[in-house]
Structures are given as structure tokens and as C-alpha cells.
Amino acid sequence: MSSTLIPLCFVGAAVRTRSAGPADCAMEDHHHHTATIAHTWLAAMAIAVLPILSVLILAATKQMGRTVFAPPKRREPPVAEGAPLLGVLPAILTRSLQGVICDQYLKLGSVFTLSSLGVKVTFLVGPEVSAHFFHAAESEISIGDVYKVTVPIFGKGVGYDVDNDTRNEQHRFFADTLRPAKLRSHARLMVREVEEYFARWGQSGTVDLKQQVEDVLLLIASRCLLGKEVRDHMHDEVSSLLRELIGGLHLVSLFFPYLPTPAHRRRDRARARLEEIFSGIARLRKSSCSSGRGAGDDGDRDHDMLQGLLDSRYRDGRGTTEAEVTGLLVALLFAGHHTSATVTTWTAARLLRHTEWLHAATEEQRLLQRNDQNDAAAIDYDVLLRMDVLHRSVKEALRLHPVTPMILRRARRPFTVRTQDGSEYEVPEGRMLASPLVVNNLLQGIYRDPDVFDPDRFAAWREEDRVGGDLAYTSFGAGKHACMGEGYAYLQIKVILSHLLRNFELRLLSPFPETENMISMRPKGEVMVSYRRRSLLQ
């Protein structure tokens, strides 16, 4: 999943670094002659006593019949200087998290540590220092230690409340429900929901596109993830509960997830009610199957993820419990809805601001309609895969507007990282680690004109992300914990945007939005758009 849990108080303020100045160089010249004589005398003494020292060292290190030599200790990554106790926190409050990270990257290099309130976070900037971060085993670089905060949201027995082996099996359940054969059926259901939702729009009008996108994505989630029962009978209640659940996540939750605040109490009530709803549906489905009744008029039940999770089995043959199914569904919704809504809105805003790309994406839809031999208005799984300009536009929007500022891990064992200039640092056991997307996605050495919205950078003739290596683009994670919902996310985002491009002329009325904050990364405020309906692209 793509997490938005970033402990802001770990990082913060401007730093000061010291380098050698003219005075240092003058002192070195002044003492050169004296130092030469001293060094010669010390060298002679070392030659005389070296045999004796060698015998003493060997005797001292002899233990249990074997000789042990302590390896030279490598230095830890440089630490940014800041205010006493608060460390770099004041700079984040006066500037921004992204600005502070950029400053330290320029001053200290690709590996550095920010400290605040006694907590240290080591940042790894760029692909050349990130291989161990993304590819190491859980026993060395842990994700579970960082995201325990999600346990009150997802529930006991799933996600980061279980051991790594069990969590891997639960990830397999997700992978089974997200394979291409399943995504084909999801595409059909997504298209239906999107068409029905935007049919409510008039011939012209003005809307907050951010809110509209969030609403239609909840409808898609109800149909594809939660099933026909939720979609037809309790969508409004489930949507309200999900908002309460997401609304229960605040900065204080990162450190005190069980503190009895009003928001946490609402979160816990919503979580309990969701489990009651999903458990009831699960029991009804099991009863329906045992009595021989069908799966529904249109077979949607066969394709939703609720049924897939109910049918999943662990390697020892044990089936999933109702509580586990509920927790896994909540994890899918929590990870998928917020992120997809954010990326869809940012992509639309970028296209509407950059009219040359809006025209290119619209022209692509016109050509796809003209080339479709069956139905000029049809959108299905295969057509969605052919939307190259739109796909690259989404990818580029996600590069400029990642759904989380950084990916977090914790070092369970010490490890050595080597920078491009040859420096080596020892990262200690227990250290919090961060891969900052807000900086990695804008590195000059990988992306040409990184601040410019240019979907062509991902075209076959450029592929800037591939040229930079497999860790150059990590907006969906990478390595052992890469987001398995990437295909599903692109699918629903392109279903929404392709429908809007085909059926409406859109214009951005609001100023181009700023980022809400460094936790949510959503567009700030309303994203007001005017629309005018058209029949078909010509």
C-alpha cells in the first residue's frame, strides 16, 4: 500500500555545516616543518615497539582458541545541525519538509540524518543509495515496524499486526484478486459506475472536481471491492463509515494511536460497524452457497474482491475468518481510495493547465473511438491499455505530486551504504530510514527539466525512468514491497478521465491548486471546473 503516515516532528530546520577556511590552511603551513620532524621520530618509535605491540594485541584478542579482530568502525551518516532539542523541526514549520530535505541533500550529499526531539531519521536520496532500502529482507529492513499505527484501522490479525510470513500470504490473496483476468471484469464494472455517475451532470455547469472524483471512486469501490450488497443497499452508510475511519488519522495518531481522542473514538466505532456489515454479508453468502442459491443476477458477486477474500485459503489449508476479510477489505479501501482520488484530481488539474497535453489526450480518445470497430463509444479493458498518452499523463502527475512525501522503513540490522562519490556510511540498527519521493522525483541527473509537466519523458523514445535504473521511479514503491494495486489504480483513474475527455469540454476555473499538506498531499481546497457536454468526439 501507499502510506501517508509521515512523522513530521522527526524532521525540520535549517542546518549549518562547517568547511575548512583560509585560517585553517595558514595554520597548516605554519606547523609543517615541526610536524615533519615529529612524524619522523614517531615512525622510528613505532618500528621499535611494533613487534611487542603485535604480541600483546594477539594475546588480548585470543578467545576460546580463536583470534578476533574488531573491524574498523565506519562513520555514521552526517547529521544536520539544528536548534537544541528541537533539531530541524523549526525549519519545517517556517519553510517546508521538501525544502529542508532539498537543502540537506545539496549540503550533505545523498545520505544524511535529520534529528529532532531525540529521534533520528536517515534519508537515502537517489537510486544509487537505495538498493538495500528497497530490496533487503524484512529481517534487515522492516516495513512492519514502521506502520503499526495502522492496526487500529485495519484491525487485529491482518496487515502489520501479524508476522511477516502471514502478511506475505495475505498479500498473495490480494495478488490473486488483482490479476489481469480479474481486472478485465473490474473494468466493466468501473465503466458502468462512471457512466451512471456522470449521467447526472447537466448539459453544462460548474463542479468541484475533487469532490466528484472522491464520490465516484467510492461507488467503484462499493461495486468492485465490497460487492453488490453494499453497492445496492448500504453504500451511503459504508461511505460515511469509511470517511470516519480515514478521518481518525491525525498527527497524534502516529505516536499515540490508542489515545482516547474524539477522532479515535469515532474511528473505533466506524471500524466495529464495518466489521459487523461485512461479517453479515459473508454469512449470507456462505448460507446462499450452502443452500444452492445463485450468486446474483449479473454475476457481479463472482468478481468482487469480497468474494475473492472469502474464498482465499492459507497454505496450511485454513480459510480466512470474517474478521480477517473485514481487515483486508478496509486495508484495500484505505490504501486505494485516498491515493486514486488524489492522483486523478492532480492529473486532471495538470491536463487542464497544460492545454497542449489536454489536446493530445483528447485526440488519443478520438482516435480510439474511430478505430474501435464494434462500438465507437466503448471503453473496455483492452481499450484502456491502449491509452498511452493518458497513461503517461497519470504517471507524470504522480511524479510531480506523489501521494506520500516519503517511504519509511526501519533498520533491523546495521548496514553500509556507499554513495556515488565513494563515501561509505554505517547506518546503525534501529535507525528510522526514509526514501523521500518529493526529492527523488525531481533529481536533475534522472529527469530533464524535472519541474516541467512532460508526459513524453516516459515515452518509448525517452524512458527517463528506465535510463535511471529500476529505482529511479518509485511512486508505487519498489522491490519486495512494491504496490500490487498499481494496475488496479491506473485502471480506475483512466476509466474516469477517459470518460470525461470523451464526453465533456472542461476548463479549470480555480487557480492551480497547492498541496494541502505534507501528510495527505491532496490538492488544497476546491478544484472548480466548468463543463459542457458534447455527444461524441469528432
120: alpha, beta or left? (left if phi > 0; alpha if psi -120 to 50)? beta
3-state helix, strand, coil in the chain (%, to 5): 55, 10, 35
Map grid coordinates 483486508 to a residue. Answer: 328
Q: What are phi and psi of 121, to 5 degrees?
A: -125, 125
C-alpha cell recorded at residue 167 = 502478511
Among 148, 165, 166, 151, residue whose Cα is nearest residue 408: 148
Where are any strands of DSSP class E within 350-481? 406-411, 415-418, 424-427, 432-436
How would you classify residue 21: left for phi > 0, otherwise alpha for psi between -120 and 50, otherwise beta? beta
Which residue is it, cell 519498489?
478
Q: Residue 343 phi/psi, 5° resolution?
A: -70, -40
C-alpha to C-alpha distance for 369 and 363, rounded to whole angstroms: 10
Rg (CA), the chain: 28
CA gap 138, 147 in Å, rounded: 13
Q: Report whether 289 belongs to an annotated binding site.
A: no
| Distance separating alpha carbons of residues 426 and 358, to the nearest angstrom | 48
The single residue listed with the C-alpha cell 516532528 is: 9
Helix (H, G, I), strand (E, B) or coil at 146: coil
Which helix (H) or strand (E) element contains residue 528? strand 528-533
- Taking the C-alpha atoms of residue 223 and residue 235, their distance in angstroms, rounded to an integer, is 9
Pairwise CA distance, residues 533 & 504, whole Å: 5
Q: Is the dihedral of CA 411, 416, 422, 423 positive or negative?
A: positive
Q: Which of 121, 97, 71 is nearest to 411 (CA)?
A: 121
Q: Using CA atoms, how far apart are residues 462 and 466, in angstroms rounded to an integer?
A: 9
Q: Report the candidate in 363, 368, 357 with the shortest Cα–Cα distance to residue 392.
A: 357
Yes or no: say if 380 and 188 are a contact pair by the CB < 8 Å rule: yes
User: Residue 423 and residue 480: Cα distance in Å, rounded?
Assistant: 27
**Residue 265, phi then psi, degrees to nearest 5:** -65, -40
CA distance 325 to 223: 16
Bridge-based pairing of strands 119-124 and 432-436 is parallel
Strands 204-208, 528-533: pairing is: antiparallel
Rounded Cα–Cα distance for residues 238 and 269 (Å): 12
Residue ranges at the known binding site: 483
Residue ranges at the known binding site for heme: 483
